[in-house]
Amino acid sequence: MRLHQRLGASILLTFLSLLTIFFLLPTAGVSAGLQRIALGTSLDQYAGGLWTWVKGKDGKNGSNVRVVVFGDSWADGMGMGVEEGREVLGRGRCWAGWLCEEVNCSALLSFAASQPSAAYPASPPTGAVTWKQLYTSPPVNLAMSSLPDLATQIQEYLSSQSDSAFEKTIFAISFGFWDIYHLAGLDYGLAQNMTDAAVNHLVSQVNLLYTHFTEVLSNHPRNESSSVPSFQLVIPKLFDPTLAPGWISQRSMPLSPSSVAEQQKQAVYLTERWNSLLENTLGSWVAADANANNVANETDTDGNENQATLPLPRKDIFYYDLPQYILDIIIEHQLEDAGQSDAAGLGTGESPFVSVAEPCLRDGAEDEKEEDGVWNTVCPDPSAYLFWDGFNLGGTANAEIGMKIAGIVKKGMRMGG
């Protein structure tokens, strides 16, 4: 009886101690990081978790730099520390997580969303698209419209966050993969128009972010000696979805056999159109305010310098060539297998992957592991596969991409710079 009483008392004391620690945390130095982890929004059903706190080496909250991510499955935070189960399965962190670590960020805020793994094969593969309004009527009335698009994610960010606590914010946008995946099956003219509309909408949302960023700066006056922080945005160039393993293994067969090649050809063309239009439109957008700043710095008609107009934040767009990185890996691997090399030196190195065509995670009946209620075959060494599943890169590739993007950000290799 005494033993039971002692055990009960010990449990009670432990519980009271935990309560004490919990209520004292708001006054502790570590509380800010823990509170960031606890924050969430209505996007939690899609995103793995909105806040991940990165502790600085000095025990404080890093460098007061924040990374804010909007996107689809290619930028989704699944597999990061907030979802340890996926880490065990081997997907690893997305490139945005590595970017955050490489720039020593204080916090990573991700609104990226993706279709749950359990949705397939009951539902066809899909993902978050740039502007879901484009897909709400025939012939493209698809289930993907339930996923938050770019505007929804940005509005969630604008309505839920305060920017005053961070000296620097790096925005990242990763959209377009699933747009092209679905648009490839439509009429050629319609697909072109929808591609253009999606890209223009993306740039309009970037401008909305920039406007908000400018307003935040204007509400927090800086010393005359301090420089105006730049608006920093990372946008990876769009990767051709036909090169993903799932294009063959999971994409529904079209009604007409001849349209298989047609859809693949159209996807390649639409990807090139997307990348070209986005680069040109963003370039014009960046140049517009650069000219506006030059005008603002000129003297007025009376010869008085225009003191009232503050300079607009510089637009630093980091447009990373993601397709080139992946294509080099694929070509390197193929040339090595064939015992050949090209003039660029590809084929003379050593590919870190055992496969660039097959994903690590596949449907199967042997050596199975469960993910989101679905039993799948997981390869013995996920780091040896370029793709984690049919449509998303694995941990090794994501790590290198994140570090490469961090490198161009640190070096200031911005668009038009």
Structure tokens at 224: 């005359």
Please tell me the distance from the alpha carbon of residue 113 to that of residue 76, in angstroms, as a whole number. Answer: 6
**Residue numbers in the chain where pLDDT is lower than 70:** 1-63, 77-90, 116-121, 139-145, 161-166, 220-227, 257-258, 289-310, 340-349, 363-376, 417
Residue-wise pLDDT for 296-339, tens only, equals 445 444 455 444 456 889 999 999 999 999 999 998 888 877 77
Q: Which of 252, 134, 143, 150 is nearest to 195 (CA)?
A: 134
Name residue 216's amino acid: V
Instruction: For 230-282, write each residue's pLDDT tens digit.
Output: 999 999 999 999 999 999 988 888 777 668 889 999 999 999 999 999 999 99
Q: Residues 137-141: contacts with CB within 8 Å, 24+ apart?
A: 139/186, 139/190, 140/182, 140/183, 140/186, 140/194
Residue tagged 């793995």 (tokens): 48
Q: How far apart are CA 123 and CA 375, in angstroms?
A: 16
In whole angstroms, give the CA distance from residue 338 to residue 354: 14
Is 86 buried (19+), middle (13-18) or exposed (0-12) by CB count in 10 A? buried
